[in-house]
Amino acid sequence: MIQDSVMKTRFVLTWHDLDANEVNTKEYVNTVGKDHSGSMDALSLAQVIDSNAWPWKIEKVMPEGGNSELSMSNWGGDEL
């Protein structure tokens, strides 16, 4: 079978904004020609969130079957 689409690994950043008491999510994928750009973009925003001491986590979601694994977390973000 020939696959006609590019399967991309996603990096999902989830954080709890304690000031507004809401949980937010943002997804990133790698830019063509730039290794690790998706995870580095997610980590850049996570550093800003981390400075507010809000819980956050980054999950790596594999394109095959949508399985995810926790990549990084802080301030109890693994429990989000």
> Which residue type occupies 50?
D
> Taking the chain, what is the end-to-end CA distance rounded to the nearest angstrom?
38
Residue 56 has pLDDT above 60, yes or no: yes
Question: Which is more confident, 6 or 35?
Answer: 35
Phi first, then psi: give them for residue 56, nearest 5 degrees: -150, 160
Phi first, then psi: give them for residue 67, nearest 5 degrees: -65, 140
**What's the whole-number average pLDDT of the chain?**
87
Give the C-alpha separation, 21 to 48, whole Å.
Answer: 17
Predicted pLDDT of residue 6: 54
